[in-house]
């Protein structure tokens, strides 16, 4: 993984309704090393991490610098990355990468550290003006706008399409 992947982990974790192992596995779909080992204990351990991430993203979306410092530093203090170099999970194939915790640690330990590191790295790399809360009234997801024109308003094309179709239909009714 690279730092951009850790930002995505932080966003996916913050945006998941963390209700059971399946929801955690869904959020970690791109990380089979974590998702395949996830348990109910990991779900319970990650709920406060999700709350911390959402707090940090609330502050980032509001461009609240002191709040971001407080929230992100609390996440890093509570879930410090402890990087470990790995040659891969298959001894026959060298696939050099970093883990944010010891390989024997529970998935929640590494996911929490990766998410804390990811949000910190994202703030350093993008500043505060590219974070947002989805513009759809019925969505509470966060996003990072990496577009060239900084015009992103929705967390996903699905939310954008839903809002635009509803606006179109409303105009058709009144027109």
Lowest mean pLDDT among 82-86, 87-91, 138-142: 87-91
26: in domain:
yes
- Measured CA to CA, the distance from residue 132 to residue 11 in angstroms comes to 11
pLDDT tens column, 99-121: 888 888 999 999 999 999 999 99
pLDDT tens column, 26-51: 999 988 889 999 999 999 999 999 99
The conformation of residue 155, written as its DSSP 8-state character, comes to S
> Please, what is the Cα angle at 120 between 58 and 123, to 5 degrees?
65
Lowest mean pLDDT among 95-99, 122-126, 135-139: 95-99
Q: DSSP for 65-80, please give it.
A: HHHHHHHHHHHHHHS-
Residue 93 has pLDDT above 80, yes or no: no
**CATH number (domain holding residue 50):** 1.10.3300.10
162: in domain:
no
Half-sphere exposure of 106 (CA within 13 A, CB side): 13
Number of domains in the chain: 1
Range of the structural domain that residue 60 is part of? 3-131
**Which residue shows structure tokens 């955690």?**
24
Instruction: Give residue 170's pLDDT.
Output: 83
Q: Distance from CA of residue 65 to its chain's centroid?
A: 19
144 - beta bridge partners?
131
150: in domain:
no
Residue closest to 7 by CA, chosen among 158, 138, 115, 147? 115
98 - beta bridge partners?
85
165: in domain:
no
Instruction: Give residue 1's pLDDT.
Output: 58
Token digits for 84? 């470990």
Residue 2 has pLDDT above 70, yes or no: no
Average pLDDT, the chain: 92
160: in domain:
no
- Measured CA to CA, the distance from residue 122 to residue 131 in angstroms comes to 9
139: in domain:
no
Q: List C-alpha distances in Å: 54 to 77, 141, 142.
A: 16, 9, 8
123: in domain:
yes
152: in domain:
no
Token digits for 58? 């609330």
Instruction: Give residue 175's pLDDT.
Output: 63
Instruction: Give residue 98's pLDDT.
Output: 85
> Would you say 75 and 62 are in contact if contact means Cβ atoms under 8 Å apart?
no
């Amino acid at each position: 993984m690279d730092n951009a992947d850790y930002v995505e982990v932080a966003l996916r974790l913050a945006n998941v309704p963390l209700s059971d192992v399946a929801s955690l596995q869904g959020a970690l779909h791109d990380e089979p090393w974590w998702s395949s080992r996830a348990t109910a204990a990991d779900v319970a351990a990650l709920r406060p991490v999700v709350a911390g991430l959402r707090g940090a993203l609330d502050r980032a979306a509001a461009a609240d610098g002191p709040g971001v410092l407080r929230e992100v530093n609390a996440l890093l203090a509570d879930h410090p990355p402890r990087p470990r170099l790995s040659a891969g999970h298959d001894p026959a194939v060298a696939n050099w990468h970093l883990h944010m915790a010891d390989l024997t640690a529970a998935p929640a330990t590494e996911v929490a550290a990766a998410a804390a590191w990811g949000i910190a790295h994202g703030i350093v790399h993008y500043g505060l003006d590219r974070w947002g809360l989805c513009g759809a009234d019925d969505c509470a997801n966060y996003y990072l706008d990496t577009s060239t024109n900084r015009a992103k308003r929705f967390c996903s094309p699905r939310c954008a399409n839903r809002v635009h179709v509803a606006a179109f239909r409303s105009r058709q009714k009144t027109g």
